[in-house]
Structure 1
Amino acid sequence: MALPPSFLDELRARTPLAPLIGRRVKLTRSSRDWKGCCPFHNEKSPSFYVYNDHYHCFGCGVHGDAISFVMQTQNAGFMEAIEQLASEAGMEVPKASPEAAAAEKQRADLNDILAAAGRFFEDQLAGPNGREARDYLDRRGLSAETVRRFGLGFSGPGRGALASDFARAGIEMNRLVEAGLMKQTEDGRMVDFFFNRVMFPIRDARGRPISFGGRIMGDGQPKYLNGPETAVFSKRRTLYGLDLARADLANTRRQGERQSLLVVEGYMDVIALSQAGFPAVAPLGTAITPEQVEAIWQYHDRPVFCFDGDAAGRRAGRKAIDLALPLLTPEHGIGIAILPQGEDPDSIVTKRGRQGMADALGQDDLTVAIYDLLKDEIQPKSPDDWARFQTELDAAANAITQKAISSTYWGVLRDRWKNEWYAVRQGNRPAPQARANRPFTPGGRRGDWKNAPPPVPIPPRPLIQTDVQSAERARVLLAILLTHPQLLPDLEEPLGMLDLPPHLTRLRDALAAWLDGHPELDREALNAHLRRLGYDGDVSVVLEARHLPASAMPNASLTEAASSWWQIYGFMRQAQLEEEVAAKQRQFSQTQDAETARQLVALTEALQRLRSGDMDNIQ
């Protein structure tokens, strides 16, 4: 019986190799991997290495995964090995049935259709219609070999060519819809999902095409667009570039080397880093998910998350830390590297090459990132600020479920906090405003804070929502999506970039989770789902008719709703950038240093671009 590849992939993911092989082979740590004497030939010096997803003997050349190890060591057949491992992993082996066979055939057919679409896009890139796209890739510094390796293509300048090409091959239109290559318009017409875009094939870990992403040529929104959820593609479970990064990591291991795996923010970052020799992956336009972190750990036990140095990059860094902390184990960790202001991996590699990127990665210790990001967020000045800072650091350490790791992080973070707090108490003169608010200390004068003990930690003060207009705009954005969920696939990514009030953040996350498993995008089904989860109150607040524009009403057209959504989104991004510019101006007036000046110039330029209507370059 043919088993679904998805089942086999999950079985391998649920079967850690080192404990399985350790039952028969005495393994010892070798850096972050394991080694021992090969069980398949007699040897005295260990040459048998065990990695996260495979084993390899450099003596006899034997190579395999969990399934092949059971087959080779127990003289078991394929299905016998599968049943044993599935039982240990708490999984049920799929039964042979007409329905299962039909579902597997559909997935295989979709992979074939997507592979054919990839060849079509490659031909378009190489042909007369692809000149602008080729020029764009040349400007980005990509070699012909890199373009070929990643299978980059061009969708064509208009719509209809892809459908015509497949029609000649006898493939029905509805199959292209199922593959995420076409969609139905409001008036019932079938049109290409992608047009006038540079195309990026999205593949699973084994290199099978499962979807596409596209970068628009010229003006238009969204700048980057991913294909819709399908039977073979789940955005929250997929990582761009994983197939090639996996192969690169395996090659370096076979050569006795160990390479870092970088987790970055976009297609071009992955491609530029790969071309420079850095294996890299990226989530598909949204914040990293637990499923993606677990997938990364199958191939590398300490990936380095690399974020841009702007405000959005620092927010993304905080989100990644908050997500990863509860997942940390002694075997699996992460590093965090925040790049200099105004830089991303693509720009650094293009301007300064491989060594420039290696230098920019610099310190990637997770405890350093936690401390620096929280300190930058709180900017402690008064004793109350320092107490809040300490509380936030403690909360980060306590979020780690593994007690030994949590205790270690707590000690490292607390020691650094104590050293800096002591330096502040001993060396800084308090500002007049802060001095007026200091409490009386028994045995000393009012405000005598240098001789006072550190303050008792207090819970963080709740954030006060002062920008009522921004909150109202955010409510309207969510109202449009609640009444027109068909827009969610295109608008989920920019929505995720906004800072929203807590109740709207919860609702946004619920929309993203619903989108993952409901490709039909029906308004009534969405509202029923949110009610079941207990979001009635939040939905009622968002959909309150007061001040809602016509575009947020169910009778508005999708075109009208999308246009209004992007207009409001532009206003919100402008407001956020204006706040960042004002904060940086205040900082520069105090420090007068060159780095702050450079950051202020970059933020000001971004704000000017947004005011002029160029949202393509505002992330």
Structure 2
Amino acid sequence: MSLTPQFLDELRARTTLSALVGKSVKLHKAGREHKGCCPFHNEKTPSFYVNDEKGFYHCFGCSAHGDAIRWMTDQRGLPFIDAVKELAQAAGLEMPAQDRRAAEKAERARGLHDAMGDAATWFTEQLGGLSGSEARGVLDKRGIRPDTARAFGLGFAPDSRGQLKAALKDYGAPALIECGLLISVENKEPYDRFRGRLMIPIRDQRGRVIAFGGRIIGDGEPKYLNSPDTPLFDKGRTLYNLDRAAPAVRKSGRVLVVEGYMDVIALAQVGIHEAVAPLGTALTEHQLEKLWRMVEVPVLCFDGDAAGQKAAIRAAHRALPLLQPGRSLSFVTLPQGQDPDDLVRARGAGAMEELLASAQPLVDRLWQSEMAAEPLDTPEQRAGLKQRLSELAGTIADQGVKFEYLSEFRRRADEHFRPAKKPFVPFQKRTGPWKPPPLPVTEDAKAFRAAGIDRVLAKAVLAGLIRHPAEIARHMEVLGSLRLVDGALGRLFEAVVDVALEDQRGQDPLDSGRLVTILARSGFETVASELLRADTMPYSFTQRSADHGRARADLDEAIAILIARPEVDTMLAEATQAMQSEFTADAFERQVALVREKQALEDRLANLVQSNEDARAMGSEGN
């Protein structure tokens, strides 16, 4: 069959798109278009438009866009050729002629579909009859309601070798053998494949029965028996419940992959309708492609036992070569020994939603699996881990995704196996005078420390001391080191300290006004007055109206930072020089610790400014 562009254009022209869409979406006339709520995502305000003249639909909310054929494939879930056939039949168009072999194949498939549909109806009738009482008891015991059983078309196959064969005798034994309902054994009469089992119909995307899964009633093996591969059924290309799940997936934006039929049915019964299941095999590439056509990141919810987790890893490995940007997997780990059926029966849909909310990305599941694969105590074992991770990433065909996985695995390995750091105690906020660490400092280091004084912060501290002279005596020992600062700022520091020392002999406490007066006699009136006018400095201790207790605490912190920063810079310079001369683990750790200490000091200073800004804002609100 050849579908020419001319034929497809004629098909679109003969299809009134608003009438087609209006069968499942409530549309309202809006000028020359029709509008309604989008069927591809949940919305309350209509943003979905259908234009008959141009022959397309478009959603301004989720960007869904297409023509009549796209509507049939995306909204109805039909394969392309089936969508064309259905539209052609509705439009009164003859499909292009098939060759004889294709026509015969299509005719035979129609007969097989009819046989499978009639078999499903017969199994359903048996479930409701006298012989189905035990099967109904199984459903009741598992908490499956009658309305759920009807929705999924559940049935019962009596424990008989010929009842189904007799009921469908008009199709003939060869057709029933071809669609997997009968078993043919050499030199024996064909007999019913499914006997004494709860029957679960498996449908294609159009909702047609193409196979069955049969669960044993009572004891026996195998527990589940599936139809064999037939002209209608390829278990590696089929996902159970895909026809019912597809509309729910389009609304929720997620698809869940569980292990078994009963998991799917139990989830649907509690309102989670977007679940599908493979058919007794590991996920195949074809099944993954079907999932990715629906959503970018399907969620695998396999059982919490060892077998379920192995199945999840097999699926992860199977997916790796197919990964692309916007195409991955995530994983939910169920409680040990439980499957989704057990979970929702015991704790309801909320328990499942809670697990889904914390689904694990594919990269995390691969990392976790390889980390647990073998001990990692020796260099050889750690090298083996890195090699396995590299080989996994190497299977990814997309070069961009492969690079990202290689980089991520390398980063995680480096971080995990980085040598343990020695405990490092950062500088703490002090209530008393600060004392430098008891480490030997060279003469060169002293010069470096003097040059490393933060003059902006030193200016703010000096303004704070002039505004709060009672604090000078508390920091006398520390402030002496500031005499190393040269220029006018250093000379003013010396004068302030000298005045405070001299004033300790007096009877009255030294206040800011008297300190400025004394400094003026020594020629510091102008610079002292300018410092006291510096209300723009972002610290509480420089502000005229600041709370005294707050200003005192902040001044203590500022002085500690002022003195500590050059000390840390000095030690960091020495550590860097030592490591450059001879790299050792101890030297490297010391350098890293000092870098962190330097950053901690910067953070403390930033917090000091921020806390003062917050206090100013609160004061402005209060005014």
TM-score, normalising length: structure 2: 0.54
Q: Equivalent residue for 1:106?
A: 108
Contact 1:303 1:333 in 2 (8 A): yes
C-alpha distance in 1, partners of 2:2/2:157? 35
Distance 1:118 1:370 in 2: 41
Q: Which residue of 1 aligns with 2:438?
A: none
After superposition, give the CA deviation of every residue in 1:554-596 in whole Å (9 maximum; x if it has no partner): xxxxxxxxxxxxxxxxxxxxxxxxxxxxxxxxxxxxxxxxxxx
Q: Which amino acid aligns with 1:392?
A: R
Gaps of 5+ in 1: 9-29, 69-76, 83-92, 253-257, 428-441, 452-619
> Where does 1:444-459 land on structure 2 (aligned, <5 Å)?
none
Q: Does 1:47 align with 2:60?
A: yes
1:209-248 correspondence to structure 2 within 5 Å: 209-248=209-248
Tell me if structure 2 keeps the 8 A contact 1:125–1:153. yes
Structure-2 separation of matches of 1:423 and 1:216: 56
Other-structure match for 1:430: none
1:207 deviates by 0.7
The correspondence for 2:378, drawn from 379, 382, 389, is 382
Q: CA RMSD in A?
A: 3.8
In the TM superposition, what are the counterparts of 1:430-445 in structure 2 within 5 Å?
none
Pair member with larger Rg:
2
Q: Evaluate the alpha carbon distance shift between residue 62 and residue 178 of structure 1 in structure 2; reply closer, same or farther with a 3 A threshold.
A: closer
Rounded Cα–Cα distance in structure 2 between residues aligned with 1:161 and 1:46 = 52
Q: Go from structure 1 to structure 2 and tell me whether the alpha carbon gap of 1:47 and 1:163 turns closer, same or farther (over 3 Å shift).
A: same
- Residue in structure 2 matched with residue 87 of structure 1 by the alignment: none
Q: CA deviation at 1:31?
A: 10
2:355: which partner in 1?
360
> How far, CA to CA, are the matches of 2:249 and 2:383 in structure 1?
44
Higher-RCO chain (CA-CA 8 Å, sequence separation at least 6): 1
Query: 374, 379, 403: which is aligned to 1:407?
Result: 403
Aligned partners of 2:2 and 2:96 also within 8 Å: no
1:47 is aligned with what amino acid? Answer: F
Matches within 5 A, 1:275-424: 275-278=269-272, 279-361=274-356, 362-422=358-418
Tell me which amino acid in the other structure corresponds to 2:161: R
Map of 2:599 onto structure 1 = none
Paired with 2:243 and 2:407, the residues of 1 have a C-alpha distance of 38
> Residue 552 of structure 2 aligns with which residue?
none
- Assess if the C-alpha contact under 8 Å between 2:116 and 2:209 holds in 1: yes
Aligned counterpart, 2:537: none
Q: Secondary structure at the match of 1:377?
A: coil
Q: Deviations over 1:495-537 (max 9, x none)?
A: xxxxxxxxxxxxxxxxxxxxxxxxxxxxxxxxxxxxxxxxxxx
Indicate conservation of the 8 Å contact 1:141/1:350, yes or no. Answer: yes
Q: 1:67 to 1:242 in 2, by over 3 A?
A: closer
Separation of aligned partners in 1, 2:350 and 2:305: 22
Residue-by-residue CA offset, 1:317-342 (whole Å, 9 max, x unaligned): 22111110110112322212232321
Secondary structure of residue in 1 paired with 2:354 = helix
* CA-CA distance at 1:360 after TM superposition: 2.6
Does residue 269 of structure 1 match 2:282? no
Q: 1:248 to 1:328 in 2, by over 3 A?
A: same
Structure 2 stretches of 5 or more lacking a match?
A: 9-39, 76-82, 89-94, 424-581, 590-623
Summarize deviations over 1:8-30 as a string: whole Å, max 9, x none.
Answer: 9xxxxxxxxxxxxxxxxxxxxx9
Q: 2:417 & 2:362 partners in 1: Cα distance?
A: 21
User: 1:154 is matched with which residue?
Assistant: 156
TM-score when normalising by structure 1: 0.55
Matches within 5 A, 1:531-546: none
CA distance in 2, matches of 1:318, 1:426: 37
Superposition deviation, residue 110 in structure 1: 0.5
Q: Determine if contact 1:202/1:212 at 8 Å carries over to the other structure.
A: yes
Report the Cα offset of residue 245 of structure 1.
Answer: 0.7
Alignment partner of 1:136 is 2:138: yes
Once the two structures are superposed, what CA deviation does each residue of 1:483-502 show, in whole Å capped at 9, x if it has no partner? Answer: xxxxxxxxxxxxxxxxxxxx
By how many angstroms is 1:395 displaced?
A: 2.0
What's the CA shift for 1:140?
1.4
Q: 1:520-539 counterparts in 2 under 5 A?
A: none
Distance 1:338 1:376 in 2: 16
Give the SS at the match of 2:176: helix
State the alpha-carbon separation in 2 of the partners of residues 301 and 158 from structure 1. Answer: 46
Q: Which residue of 1 aligns with 2:179?
A: 179
Q: Secondary structure at the match of 1:307?
A: coil
TM superposition shift of 1:135: 1.0
The percent of aligned pairs where both chains have the same amino acid is 37
Instruction: Tell me how far 1:381 sits from its aligned partner.
Output: 2.9
Q: Is the 8 A contact 2:159 2:196 kept in 1?
A: yes
| CA contact 2:254–2:299 (8 Å) conserved in 1 | yes
Q: 2-side partners of 1:67 and 1:348: how far apart? A: 32
Q: Give the aligned residue type for 1:267.
A: Y
Q: What's 2:471 paired with? A: none
Q: Secondary structure at the match of 2:212?
A: strand
Residues 426 and 395 of structure 1: CA distance in aligned 2, closer, same or farther (over 3 Å):
farther
How far did residue 365 of structure 1 move?
0.9
Residue 39 of structure 1: how far off its partner (Å): 6.0
CA distance in 2, matches of 1:202, 1:190: 23
Alpha-carbon distance change, 392 to 2 in structure 1, aligned in 2, over 3 angstroms: closer
Q: For residue 190 of structure 1, report the CA deviation from its aligned partner.
A: 1.1
Partners of 1:102 and 1:317 in 2: how far apart? 41
Matches of 1:129 and 1:426, distance apart in 2: 74
Give the aligned partner of residue 71 of structure 2: 64
Q: Which amino acid aligns with 2:236?
A: R
